[in-house]
Amino acid sequence: QSALTQTASVSGSLGQSISISCTGTADDVGKYNFVSWYQQHPGKAPRLIIQEVIWRPPGVPTRFTGSKSGNTASLTISGLQAEDEADYFCCTYAGNRNYVFGTGTKVSIL
């Protein structure tokens, strides 16, 4: 399985909205509604922020929203906050209990 493709970096100003894309294939992202997103601050473990494409776990701010169209999933951060500066990884279920992560996107605040 090849890694899902993400834009290497995205930047935005405080309060701005940004989107991160995650492109797979018809055999993974396109086939299953099991895309999840993880936020990782430097030196920390990843944190689940979106599961099953669109659902936020308890405690995750509502400014994080997920979506999917065809073989591409997206994460949107509406109203960028300073604490949102981090790396973001998508992940998809790929069948037979296998999973594939994205290449990661570094979000920076201008």
Partner 1 sequence: QVQLVQSGAEVKKPGASVKVSCKASGYTFINYGINWVRQAPGQGLEWVASATPGTSDAVYDQRFRDRVTVTSDTSMTTIFMEINSLTSEDTAIYYCARLSQSGQEAFDVWGQGTRVTVSS
d(CA 92, CA 41): 21
| 24 touches partner 1 by CB under 8 A | no
Nearer to partner 1, 28 or 84 (CB): 28
How many Å is the Cα radius of gyration of the chain? 13
Annotate each residue in 42-61 with x if it binds partner 1 (CB under 8 A) or - if it does not, as one string.
Answer: ---xxxx--xx----x----
**Strand ranges for 31-104 from DSSP E:** 35-40, 47-50, 64-69, 72-77, 86-93, 99-101
Q: Interacting stretch for partner 1, rule CB under 8 A, among 13-21, 59-67, 78-86, 88-96? A: 88-96
| 99 touches partner 1 by CB under 8 A | yes
Q: Is 15 left (phi over 0), alpha (psi -120 to 50) or beta?
A: left
| 66 touches partner 1 by CB under 8 A | no
| 103 touches partner 1 by CB under 8 A | yes
What the block records as the tokens of 12 is 């935005």
Which residues contact partner 1 by CB under 8 A? 1, 3, 32, 34, 36, 38, 45-48, 51-52, 57, 89, 91, 93, 96-104
